[in-house]
């Protein structure tokens, strides 16, 4: 009994997803009020009819609804993102209010990754999310629906999506090997090939299921944020699902993915979730060791309502994704990239992210959008225009830049002409003598300009991105070669990696049942696996006990988030036979524990605490840095589950040991305290290097550390013999 | 004290009752459906908007989910919702009040209305909106008049500060109630002093309902006559019709009351519940199962010496018997005046005050071994500001008690209305309609009409729930009056003599101990203005309370922010919250055995012992 929908203010359904129970429920509700004999209208129209009173009421009330709970515990969560109202419903008790809110935010994030700045214009987004062409609409919705289902499955089963941090495979040698290969062989070769068609590989990473084996960013690339990386993992998982659920299947089912058995397409039992059937097909396809690109669209399971046959688009076409880029002028959200997702073996995937040739345009569009947004706000507030001395907006400057920008565009399509017209109109109203000048009358024109800019952006980066635009992408042959290269490199490690991904880390504390450690500065987590299936055992054993503990861990994370939201950074709970601890603390680079700051108390309907849809920790770190000026603040979290009979002192001792041990380099280099590189003007690095304890300073090997941000430069510098200045942070 | 504050706007933003049946057609204005809206000064347009939108959306969601909406949240306000027939209640509170508490408050509010007015639908058929609006306002202000935010989160019966009350007085109160119960028409009762419970035989929720009436009367008296010196205007005996839910009635009747032989029943009443008591409540903390034998030996002499003394003194002071003139310290101790006949008819009965029979009083005090048991309990709980419950409360922990509460929470309902505000003929017309359904209409349980009999002696009040025919049965009334009056007078004098305890200097810690069986709250949180340092504690308590409510298996929790660490623990019957002041928060949030937060459980155990809270 789950449902999720996006509606416009006029109660038009822009997207919906629901499971079979909910669909039946809604159809029955609707059927009762309808005449006999008439066929049911499209499901989205039924939803629109039934939800209309809620949607319309939302825009009537000044203080908007955030949730409803009924006596039979149906939960409705609502959130207005700009002009779109998102509603999530649960009627089976499996999700709580915060889960639903998180789902809304994740959907929003996915929409942003897919549509970029088009989301900034309500009008354009509406058209984008609900294409006129029903076939196109069905295809798009199915893709989004399967993304949502993939996300939900990951959130319910994968600890890294529970805490929203990336999990690394802990094997330093292999990581190093792999990263070196990505850098020296793969990316270098790709970027020097003529077949890359103007694209440049910025990031390359290898995923083993959802865990990261190696991540390489090219020198020109900016940091890939944890939020974006997590979103990309969801997309990769959606394309090549690692069978989290496979373990639950019967033995003959799994053979097709075991890697040794004959290719064996199985048919799972029909289930309301369309994912299982799609995963089987993909798993089977992934078997064939030759290059094969499977577009996600054709993998989408049949929906009971829409059974359209979709022509598979060109399999070699990448997916357009919009990711945040940090530039020297600051961060730019939603910059266009192409994502190539190449399956190496079932469960192991190579992902390439490329910069597309015209991406500079996106930065300009974003800058102008911001300018017009600022102007609009000022006009709303009733401030004067550029004439007033207080105005920080230099409209004349913007004017000339904008003129140049428009000239630089290719003047051959309709969108261009529209932008030019609107800009001309804007100028005549704003700058000319006869115009109204900078007052409230200009607001609609500001809006119009923004819409036009979004339109240009859409024109450049969205239309055609999904179609077979062969000229602007890595050629199929090049992709095939890349895939073959990595395959060859990793072939001996393949089975090891798949096993390793299930047994990443073990622990040796008597009485400790489970733990999760998260480094929030880098968005990485580490935890013993929690596979709870009949046939595989984890550190927790198997069967109902493991399932019980898993549920407890999931509940604990929800609970601690609730407390964190209200400003509590330490929580211990005695619950049933278990004792749970949660700690969040800050350190500087040297590992010194920083004085705690009062963590802001947030309202109940604030964005979910996590990193995927909304980077709460990034904001927390920035907030904390304010009171620790000049320090590179780190934030760590530790969750533990102990048996309740263990004395509290011992439990705390364990927690303390875990907190320090897990970040010891020998144990887990991936979580090694990050070194930080500051680019000096000569392009040479100045390294601020401070390991855990001063005496360990000599130990930093640099090599093999695969870091998610600029820090990769350090190791690269080491290897290339670049001079690095080691400076102790004050 | 019991003065009614105007509802705290920070806690309660809105309360309204909307009758959807009045707005059926397209042209019907929304305001026709608004039965009551708080704050009353809200512009009509805004009232229309809120009522119309919330009720409309509520109906839409209810249809989608085939179930009534219970909670509706806006960004800055959360509403508990009740939907019944065409009625739509909404109580909107600020976001920091726990959701569970908001729901409880609304249910309580509706239950109060039904307790005094009977069925909501019928009340609105028979009375004007304005009349009933005044009723709602009255109950709302009562519900929101808790002394501190804590009382708002943990709904509790307000009890006498027992730290400076002689336990024997509590015993005396209990005995008065028992004596009254000898009359078969008396269901149960409670003794209140200055708006606080001294002793009660009723379950907490019912006691709270009864107290609304009393508190109001008391407040009126206060206002009309300055400080505690009721004028002749205050009538010593009054009565009002009330409506019990079937479960409440069943509970009261199921108590093992031997209505014929009064003296023998006393020990039986107390003994069984003691064995089944689940909680480590105040009263049984020091007196474990084995102790009842102890007081029998060591306290009986005390009682023996006490009882003649007190009864003697009270008789001498308060009885109209002209034997003593030493009533100088109690100028208002007039002989019980005749019961006033109420203007509205048959519920009012004139009963002549009678001189209390002294020997009768004595009999009461030596009413059996139950007495000694009461004493031992009284001793143990003497340090608490807690309700000293006798039979009623104790047996509540038996199976029927909690069930009764559950029902009661959702119960509100139909029935006639017979309250002071009504004209007499109306009251007569409206007998509780037997077929009408109550709020929890699933059970189709009609409300049962009863009468609340109130006997006031200055600030002391004896409130009894009696069968309606009690008021027509002069013999019964006389019996009750006989058995209680002298003792009431004596009790009043003693209680009045107790100087109000000076608000104790806040210790180096804050705590709140909630007994969920007896609905009592023991705390040193004052709720005084300028209680800002207490706010973090209240906030943490509110969060933990919600958490305990949601997670059945959770036993204890420590939560800490940069500046505050609060420990919470609970059992089936109680919740305790503790915060230690000071103690520098040197540690940085990393796991650390030296962290002062982790010593909170042991500190709480030690510190709270002297408040009678046993966490061992």
A464-476 b/e (C-beta count within 10 Å ≥ 16 → b): ebbeeeeebbbbb
| The pLDDT value given to residue A126 | 93
Q: Nearest to residue B96, comparing CAs of A598, A565, A597, A73?
A: A565
Query: Closest Cα of chain A to B560: distance in Å?
Result: 5
Q: Do B589 and A596 touch (CB under 8 A)?
A: yes
| Cis before B591? omega within 30 | no
Structural domain contains residue A296: no
Q: Do A598 and B60 touch (CB under 8 A)?
A: no
Mean per-residue pLDDT, B138-158: 83
Q: How many domains does chain A have?
A: 3
| The pLDDT value given to residue A547 | 84
d(CA A514, CA A503): 13
Q: Does B584 touch chain A (CB under 8 A)?
A: no
DSSP class per residue in B74-130? ESS-EEEEEEETTEEEEEEE-TTS-HHHHHHHHHHHHHHHHHHH--HHHHHHHS-HH
A455 with A541, same domain?
no
Q: Does B472 touch chain A (CB under 8 A)?
A: no
A457 with A520, same domain?
no
Helix (H) or strand (E) holding B188: strand B186-193
Domain that holds residue A619: 505-663
Q: Which of A76, A576, A604 minimises the CB distance to B61?
A: A76
The pLDDT mean for chain A works out to 77
**Site from B73, B406, B549, B604 to mutate, A interface, most A CB atoms within 10 angstroms:** B73
The region of weakest confidence among A5-14, A111-120, A461-470, B567-576 is: A461-470
Strand, coil or helix: A462:
coil
Closest residue in A to B49 (Cα–Cα):
A61
| DSSP structural state of residue B612 | T
Residue A478 has pLDDT above 70, yes or no: yes
| The pLDDT value given to residue A515 | 92
| The pLDDT value given to residue B566 | 94
Set of chain A residues whose Cβ sits within 8 Å of the Cβ of B77: 63
CA Rg value for chain A: 26
A82 with A136, same domain?
yes
| The pLDDT value given to residue A55 | 94
**Site from B75, B80, B93 to mutate, A interface, most A CB atoms within 10 angstroms:** B75
Give residue B585's pLDDT band: very low, low, confident or very high (50, 70, 90). low
Set of chain A residues whose Cβ sits within 8 Å of the Cβ of B588: 585-586, 593-596
| The pLDDT value given to residue A688 | 33
Structural domain contains residue A346: no
Which residues lie closer than 8 Å to A373 by C-beta, 6 or more apart?
A: A446, A450
Burial of A95 (0-12, 13-18, 19+ CB in 10 A): buried
Give residue A303's pLDDT band: very low, low, confident or very high (50, 70, 90). very low
Q: Does B62 touch chain A (CB under 8 A)?
A: yes
Query: Closest Cα of chain B to A58: distance in Å?
Result: 9
Fold classification of B12-144 is: Beta-Lactamase (3.30.450)
In chain B, the percentage of residues whose pLDDT exceeds 90 is: 31
| The pLDDT value given to residue B83 | 94
| B571 conformational bin, left if phi > 0, alpha if psi -120 to 50, beta if neither | beta
Set of chain B residues whose Cβ sits within 8 Å of the Cβ of A649: 593
Q: Nearest to residue B110, comparing CAs of B123, B98, B125, B97?
A: B123
Mean per-residue pLDDT, A506-530: 86
A436 with A557, same domain?
no
Per DSSP, what are the bridge partners of residue B438? B413
Across chain A, which distance is largest between two alpha carbons, in Å?
82
Q: Which of residues 300-319 of B touch A (CB under 8 A)?
A: none
Closest residue in B to A595 (Cα–Cα):
B588
- Tokens linked to A35: 């005449």
A526 with A611, same domain?
yes
Q: Nearest to residue B22, comparing CAs of B67, B52, B65?
A: B52
| DSSP structural state of residue B286 | S
List the CATH code of the domain at B165-222+448-500. Answer: 3.30.450
Q: Do B562 and A596 touch (CB under 8 A)?
A: yes
Question: Cα-flanking dihedrals φ and ψ of residue B466, to 5°?
Answer: -125, 160
Mean per-residue pLDDT, A630-643: 90
The region of weakest confidence among A108-112, A161-165, A355-359, B81-85 is: A355-359
Q: Do B368 and B264 touch, CB atoms closer than 8 A? A: yes
Set of chain A residues whose Cβ sits within 8 Å of the Cβ of B95: 603-604
Set of chain B residues whose Cβ sits within 8 Å of the Cβ of A573: 554, 556-557
Mean per-residue pLDDT, A631-655: 91
Q: What is the pLDDT of residues B459-516, one digit of tens each?
A: 899 999 999 999 888 888 888 888 888 889 889 988 888 766 655 556 789 999 999 8
Q: Do A576 and B585 touch (CB under 8 A)?
A: no
User: In Å, how far are A68, A102, A151, A569 from A97, measured between CA atoms?
Assistant: 9, 9, 17, 21
Give residue B530's pLDDT band: very low, low, confident or very high (50, 70, 90). low
Q: Nearest to residue B593, comparing CAs of A327, A192, A464, A647?
A: A647
A405 with A537, same domain?
no
The pLDDT mean for chain B works out to 70
Enter the pTM of the model: 0.78
Give residue A437's pLDDT band: very low, low, confident or very high (50, 70, 90). confident
d(CA B359, CA B311): 10
DSSP class per residue in A47-58? HHHHHHHHHHHH
| The pLDDT value given to residue B584 | 55
Query: Closest Cα of chain A to B564: distance in Å?
Result: 9
Q: Nearest to residue A238, comparing CAs of A153, A306, A323, A302?
A: A153
| The pLDDT value given to residue A436 | 67
Q: Which of B62, B74, B590 minimises the CB distance to A593?
A: B590
Q: Which of A50, A603, A648 minimises the CB distance to B64?
A: A50
The region of weakest confidence among A384-388, B125-129, B402-406 is: B402-406
Q: What is the pLDDT of residues B56-73, one digit of tens each?
A: 999 999 999 999 999 999
Q: Do B591 and A72 touch (CB under 8 A)?
A: no
Q: Which of residues 564-623 of A touch B (CB under 8 A)?
A: 566-576, 581, 583-586, 593-599, 603-605
Query: Closest Cα of chain B to A74: distance in Å?
Result: 7
Closest residue in A to B561 (Cα–Cα):
A568
A522 with A412, same domain?
no
Set of chain B residues whose Cβ sits within 8 Å of the Cβ of A581: 591
Domain end point (choices A663, A698, A722) = A663
Q: Do B174 and B392 touch, CB atoms closer than 8 A? A: no
Structural domain contains residue A281: no
Q: What is the pLDDT of residues B213-250, one digit of tens each?
A: 877 776 676 666 544 444 444 568 888 999 999 989 88
Q: Does B400 touch chain A (CB under 8 A)?
A: no
Q: Do B245 and B443 touch, CB atoms closer than 8 A? A: no
Q: Do A585 and B590 touch (CB under 8 A)?
A: yes
Give residue A318's pLDDT band: very low, low, confident or very high (50, 70, 90). confident
- Tokens linked to A105: 């935010």
Give residue B587's pLDDT band: very low, low, confident or very high (50, 70, 90). low
Mean per-residue pLDDT, A65-89: 95
Q: The CATH number of B509-611 is which of 2.60.40, 3.30.1560, 2.10.70, 3.30.450?
A: 3.30.450
A534 with A428, same domain?
no
In chain A, the percentage of residues whose pLDDT exceeds 70 is: 74
Q: What is the pLDDT of residues B327-383, one digit of tens each?
A: 334 344 333 333 443 333 333 333 333 333 333 333 333 333 333 333 334 333 333
A522 with A444, same domain?
no
CATH number of the domain to which A11 belongs: 3.30.450.50
Q: What is the pLDDT of residues B408-460, one digit of tens each?
A: 333 333 333 333 333 334 333 333 333 333 344 334 468 899 999 999 888 89
State the alpha helices, DSSP H only, in A382-413.
395-408
Count CB neighbours of A507 within 10 A. 16
Mean per-residue pLDDT, B152-175: 83
Q: Do A597 and B562 touch (CB under 8 A)?
A: yes
Domain end point (choices A603, A637, A663) = A663
Structural domain contains residue A584: yes
A533 with A455, same domain?
no
Domain end point (choices A157, A192, A217) = A157
Residue B295 has pLDDT above 50, yes or no: no
Residues in chain B: 616
């Amino acid at each position: 009994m789950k449902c999720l929908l996006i509606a416009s203010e006029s109660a038009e359904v822009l997207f919906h997803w629901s499971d079979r129970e909910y669909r039946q429920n809604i159809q029955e509700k609707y059927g009762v009020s309808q005449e006999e004999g008439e066929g049911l209208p499209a499901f989205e129209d039924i939803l629109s009819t039934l939800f209309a009173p809620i949607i319309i009421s939302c825009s009537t009330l000044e203080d908007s609804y955030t949730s409803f709970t009924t006596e039979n515990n149906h939960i409705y969560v609502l959130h207005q993102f700009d002009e779109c109202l998102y509603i999530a419903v649960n009627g089976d008790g499996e999700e709580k209010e915060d889960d639903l809110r998180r789902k809304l935010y994740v959907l929003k994030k996915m929409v942003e990754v897919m549509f970029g700045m088009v989301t900034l214009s309500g009008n354009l987004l509406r058209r984008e999310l609900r294409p006129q062409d029903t076939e196109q609409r069905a295809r798009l919705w199915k893709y989004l629906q399967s993304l949502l289902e993939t996300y939900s499955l990951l959130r319910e089963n994968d600890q890294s999506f529970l805490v929203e941090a990336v999990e690394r495979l802990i094997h330093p040698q292999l990581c190093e090997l792999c990263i070196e290969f990505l850098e020296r062989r793969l990316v270098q070769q790709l970027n020097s090939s003529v077949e890359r068609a103007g694209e440049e590989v910025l990031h390359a990473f290898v995923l083993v299921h959802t865990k990261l084996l190696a991540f390489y960013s090219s020198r020109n690339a900016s940091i890939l944020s944890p939020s974006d990386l997590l979103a990309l993992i969801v997309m990769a998982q959606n394309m090549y699902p690692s069978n989290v659920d496979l373990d639950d299947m019967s033995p003959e089912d799994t053979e097709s993915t075991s890697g040794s058995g004959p290719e064996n397409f199985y048919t799972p039992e029909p289930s309301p979730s369309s994912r299982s059937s799609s995963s089987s097909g993909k798993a089977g396809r992934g078997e064939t060791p030759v290059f094969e690109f499977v577009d996600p669209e054709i993998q989408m399971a049949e929906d009971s309502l829409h059974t359209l046959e979709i022509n598979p688009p060109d399999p070699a076409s990448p997916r357009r994704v919009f990711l945040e880029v940090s530039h020297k002028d600051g961060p730019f959200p939603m910059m266009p990239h192409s994502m190539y997702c190449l399956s190496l073996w079932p469960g192991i995937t190579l992902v390439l992210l490329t910069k597309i040739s015209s991406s500079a345009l996106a930065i300009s569009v974003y800058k102008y959008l911001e300018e017009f947004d600022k102007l609009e706000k000022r006009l709303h507030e009733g401030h004067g225009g550029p004439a007033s001395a207080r105005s920080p907006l230099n409209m004349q400057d913007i004017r000339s830049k904008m003129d140049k920008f428009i000239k630089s565009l290719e003047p051959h399509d309709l969108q261009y002409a529209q932008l030019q017209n609107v800009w001309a109109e804007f100028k005549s109203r704003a700058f000319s003598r006869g115009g109204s000048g900078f007052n409230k009358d200009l607001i609609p024109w500001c809006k119009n300009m923004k819409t036009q800019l979004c339109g240009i952006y859409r024109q450049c980066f969205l239309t055609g991105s999904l179609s077979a635009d062969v000229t602007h992408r890595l050629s199929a042959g090049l992709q095939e070669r890349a895939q073959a290269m990595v395959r060859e490199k990793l072939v001996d490690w393949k089975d090891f990696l798949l096993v390793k991904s299930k047994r990443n880390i073990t622990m040796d504390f008597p009485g400790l049942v489970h733990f999760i450690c998260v480094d929030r500065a880098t968005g990485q987590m580490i935890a013993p696996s929690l596979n709870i299936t009949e046939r595989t055992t984890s550190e927790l054993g198997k069967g109902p006990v493991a399932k019980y503990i898993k549920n407890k861990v999931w509940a604990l994370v929800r609970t601690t988030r609730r407390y964190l939201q209200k400003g509590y950074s330490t929580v211990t709970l005695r619950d049933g036979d278990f004792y749970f601890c949660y700690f969040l603390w800050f350190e500087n680079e040297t590992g010194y524990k920083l004085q705690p700051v009062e963590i802001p108390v947030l309202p109940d309907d604030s964005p979910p605490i996590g990193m995927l849809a909304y980077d709460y920790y990034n904001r927390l770190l920035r907030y904390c840095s304010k009171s620790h000026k000049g320090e590179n603040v780190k934030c760590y979290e530790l969750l533990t589950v102990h048996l309740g009979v263990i004395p509290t002192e011992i439990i705390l001792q364990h927690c303390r040991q875990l907190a320090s041990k897990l970040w010891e380099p020998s144990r887990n280099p991936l979580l090694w305290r990050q070194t930080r590189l500051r680019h000096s003007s000569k392009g040479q690095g100045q390294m601020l290097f401070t390991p855990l304890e001063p005496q360990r300073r000599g130990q930093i090997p640099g090599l093999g550390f695969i870091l998610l941000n600029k820090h990769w430069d350090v190791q690269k510098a080491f290897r290339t013999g670049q001079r690095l200045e080691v400076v102790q942070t004050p | 004290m019991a003065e009614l504050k105007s509802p705290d706007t920070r806690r309660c933003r809105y309360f309204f009752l909307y009758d959807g049946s009045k707005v059926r057609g397209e042209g019907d204005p929304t305001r026709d459906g608004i039965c009551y809206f708080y704050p009353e000064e809200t512009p009509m347009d805004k009232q229309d908007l809120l009522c119309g939108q919330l009720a409309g959306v509520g109906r839409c969601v209810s249809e989608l989910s085939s179930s009534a909406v219970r909670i509706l949240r806006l960004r800055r306000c959360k509403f508990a919702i009740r939907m019944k027939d065409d009625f739509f209640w909404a109580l909107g509170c600020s976001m920091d009040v726990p959701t569970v508490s908001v729901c409880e408050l609304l249910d309580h509010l509706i239950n109060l209305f039904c307790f005094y007015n009977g069925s909501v639908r019928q009340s609105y058929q028979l009375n004007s909106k304005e009349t009933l609006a005044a009723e709602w306002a009255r109950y709302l202000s009562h519900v929101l008049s808790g002394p501190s935010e804590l009382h708002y989160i943990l709904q509790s019966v307000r009890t006498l500060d027992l730290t400076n009350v002689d336990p024997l007085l509590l015993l005396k109160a209990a005995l008065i109630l028992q004596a009254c119960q000898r009359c078969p028409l008396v269901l149960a009762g409670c003794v209140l002093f200055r708006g606080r419970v001294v002793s009660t035989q009723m379950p907490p929720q019912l006691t709270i309902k009864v107290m609304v009436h009393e508190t109001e009367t008391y407040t009126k008296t206060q206002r009309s006559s300055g400080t505690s010196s009721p004028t002749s205007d205050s009538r010593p005996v009054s009565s009002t019709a009330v409506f019990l839910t079937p479960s409440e009635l069943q509970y009261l009747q199921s108590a093992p009351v031997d209505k014929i032989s009064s003296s023998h029943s006393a020990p039986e009443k107390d003994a069984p519940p003691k064995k089944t008591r689940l909680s480590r409540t105040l009263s049984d903390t020091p007196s474990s199962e084995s102790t009842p034998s102890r007081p029998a030996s060591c306290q009986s002499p005390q009682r023996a010496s006490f009882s003649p003394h007190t009864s003697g003194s009270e008789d001498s002071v308060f009885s109209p018997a002209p034997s003593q003139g030493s009533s100088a310290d109690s100028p208002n101790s007039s002989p019980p005046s005749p019961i006033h006949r109420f203007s509205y008819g048959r519920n009012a009965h004139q009963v002549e005050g009678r001189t209390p029979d002294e020997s009768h009083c004595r009999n009461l005090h030596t009413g059996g071994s139950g007495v000694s048991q009461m004493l031992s309990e009284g001793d143990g709980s003497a340090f608490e500001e807690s309700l000293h419950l006798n039979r009623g409360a104790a047996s509540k922990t038996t199976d029927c008690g909690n069930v009764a509460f559950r029902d009661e929470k959702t119960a509100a309902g139909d029935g006639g209305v017979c309250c002071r505000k009504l004209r007499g003929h109306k009251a007569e017309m409206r007998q509780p309609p037997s077929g009408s359904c109550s709020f929890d209409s699933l059970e189709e349980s009609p409300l049962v009409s009863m009468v609340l009999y109130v006997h006031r002696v200055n600030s002391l009040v004896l409130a009894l729930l009696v069968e309606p025919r009690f008021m027509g049965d002069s013999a019964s009334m006389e019996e009750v009056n006989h058995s209680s009056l002298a003792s009431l007078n004596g009790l009043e004098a003693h209680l009045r003599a107790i100087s109000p305890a000076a608000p104790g200097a806040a210790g180096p810690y804050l705590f709140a101990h909630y007994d969920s069986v007896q609905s009592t709250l023991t705390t040193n949180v004052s709720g005084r203005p300028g209680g800002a340092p207490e706010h973090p504690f209240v906030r943490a308590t509110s969060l933990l309370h919600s958490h305990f409510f949601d997670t059945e298996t959770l036993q204890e929790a420590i939560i800490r922010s940069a500046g505050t660490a609060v420990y919470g623990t609970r059992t089936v019957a109680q919740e305790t919250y503790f915060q230690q002041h000071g103690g520098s928060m040197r540690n940085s949030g990393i796991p650390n055995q030296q962290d002062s937060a982790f010593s909170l459980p042991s500190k709480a155990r030690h510190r709270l012992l002297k408040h009678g809270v046993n966490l061992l």
